[in-house]
Amino acid sequence: MTTASTLDFDVKTLRADFPILAERVHGKPLAYLDNANTSQKPRQVIETIDHYYRAMNSNVHRGNHFLSQQATNALEAARRTVQAFINASEDREIIFVRGTTEAINLVASSFGENLRKGDEIVISAMEHHSNIVPWQMLCARKETELRVIPINDAGELMMDEYEHFLSDRTKIVAITHISNTLGTVNPIKRIIDLAHERGAIVLVDGAQAVPHEAVDVQALDADFYVFSGHKVFAPTGIGVLYGKASLLEAMPPYHGGGAMISSVSFEKTTYNDIPFKFEAGTPHIEGIIGLGSALEYLRGIDLGAVAEYEQELLHYGTTALLGIDGLRIIGTAAHKTSVISFMLSSANGDVHPHDVGTILDNEGIAIRTGHHCTQPLMKRFGVPATCRASFAFYNTKEEIDALVRGLRKVQKMFA
């Protein structure tokens, strides 16, 4: 039954904030169902970036003239917006990076210096490559061991195995909050609590979570929480590393250069305080300000209603897709968000996901096809790639209906 909050969720008005959704592709209305890859941007963010370049373009933290002060104030206001959005205790716990990938690499390279031979790092079988490769590199460098939590056929973590893995040798647990391929929502609070009982720190990859649900890093007790701007309706090339202040203060810098120093001589360099110790060089100023604008936009929307509406889309889409003979969904966790990965077959066998994506594109429908930077996960399910439809709050049931029609057309073409 549709609830009041869903009824009050005005999708038509929200869609009007996103200019690109009015575009046509190959003469057809655009149905953008690739939000787990990157999200579209509201006009409020576009206008914020335009205003920055028209009215305050200057470097930050480096000048006492008017434009520099304006740009610096806008950047630091964005930092405070991020702090409030994820409920960090201090704004200095917010480090601006290029994205989730750089944030994970920063922690692996900096905090990872604490690890010793024989220590262990725990990840899961559903991780994005960005939360696998940096830890493999650290293991090779430090002679540590990488352990992988298995998943069941529904795409859920096998928590008994996770608890079995944890020991006094476990130093880092790096885990995705929500799987970009399966949509599985992991029990992050329980994962963190169990790791802390063994004295391990936890990094949470929140790239897919922040766009879909309220995140409270203090309530989770996350040691590190990372996400990318471009998945949360902000520009590309900007991301966030949240870290507990005590951890960040003890970590060595990741990059050397301007802004991250307090003083420099040829004999010795003294490093700046956090967050600046980790923000060497001229930052992605317009990206940071755009991120602040995107999060302010989201703060103006009822995130509870967003989550409820996206669950409605997920249920509607799942039911509609399962009505297609020969379609198999990969990832059927009891607790998941608005991502549906699937394989499609016709009378002549499986249709390659790339062919599915190409034909759908001709119908104006944008989905993602491939391994989604989760090749080990593809191997776990015995497939080379999948088709993936992923929803945001501006998507509609009519777009899902268009997807179903497109998939039926694919089947006819390959019959």
**Residues labelled catalytic:** 373
Indicate the length of the chain as a whole number: 415
Phi and psi dihedrals of 330, rounded to 5? Answer: -100, 110
Answer for the pair 411, 360: CB distance below 8 angstroms, yes or no.
no
Quickly list H helices, 254-352.
285-299, 303-322
Query: What are the counts of helices (DSSP H) followed by strands (DSSP E) for the chain?
Result: 15, 18
- SS3 for 115? coil
Beta-bridged to residue 304, according to DSSP, are none
Answer for the pair 270, 262: CB distance below 8 angstroms, yes or no.
yes
Strands 201-205 and 170-176: parallel
Tokens linked to 53 = 């370049």
Tokens linked to 2 = 């549709």
Answer for the pair 195, 166: CB distance below 8 angstroms, yes or no.
yes
104-108 contact pairs (CB < 8 A, 24+): 104/130, 104/131, 104/134, 104/174, 104/203, 104/205, 104/226, 105/134, 105/254, 106/241, 106/254, 106/278, 107/203, 107/224, 107/226, 107/241, 107/243, 108/134, 108/135, 108/137, 108/138
Dihedral sign, Cα of residue 87, residue 242, residue 112, residue 278: negative
**50 residue type, one letter:** D
The answer for residues whose C-beta is within 8 angstroms of residue 223's C-beta and 6 or more apart is 192, 201, 202, 203, 243, 244, 247
Answer for the pair 299, 233: CB distance below 8 angstroms, yes or no.
no
**131 residue type, one letter:** N
Greatest Cα-to-Cα distance within the chain, rounded to the nearest angstrom: 73
Whole-angstrom distance, CA of residue 287 vs CA of residue 292: 9
